[in-house]
Amino acid sequence: DALIGRGEVMRAMGRLAEAVSDYDTALLFAPDRFEAVFLRAAALHALGHHDQAIAGYDHALAIRPDDPSTLHNRAIVESELYRFENALAGFRRLAAIDASYPHALGNVAYFGAHLCDWRERTDLVAAIEAGVRGGKDVCAPLTFLSISPDAASQLRCARIHVAERHRYT
């Protein structure tokens, strides 16, 4: 726990290599400790070590196969590597597990459009529009522009998005 905590502090301070080292040491004692595996992958991602991050997220998914944050982060890394098919598959899996996860549905729509995959477009657009009407952060505002021509809905989507990202506690 202490090594994972120190790793989190190092990561928060931007000392990512030290964070990875702390997580590595923690994993010597508990190789399948989900928190250490997940946070190590996140630190590797932040360092730009994409393939190592994917391997780390795969390890985390072996421990918790349906963890929404891991599925999300892994799909993001795939998208950064321009592996849009893999990103879409990851976001589809995330949406199937937790459609309310922020931007899960929006990312399915976004990467589906990148790949000209329109199979689920009608249902997806309806679900995204319903989410925005319900005040949910289901889609990035720029993606929503390609989904809804309604200016009031676009504004609502943008306000939801900003409110979720800039909460004051």
d(CA 127, CA 95): 11
Angle at 74 between CA 97 and CA 71, to 5 degrees: 15
Over the stretch 92-144, which tens digit does the pLDDT of each residue have?
999 999 999 999 999 999 999 999 999 899 999 999 999 999 999 999 999 99
Where is 115: in which H helix or E strand? none
Residue with tokens 């598959």: 89
Contacts of 96 (CB under 8 A, 6+ apart): none
Is 129 within 8 Å of 148 (Cβ atoms)? Answer: yes
Residue 9's pLDDT band (cuts 50, 70, 90): very high
Q: Which two tokens stand for residue 37?
A: 């595996």
Structure confidence by residue, pLDDT tens digits, 45-99: 999 999 999 999 999 999 999 999 999 999 999 999 999 999 999 999 999 999 9
pLDDT band at 167 (very low <50, low <70, confident <90, very high): confident
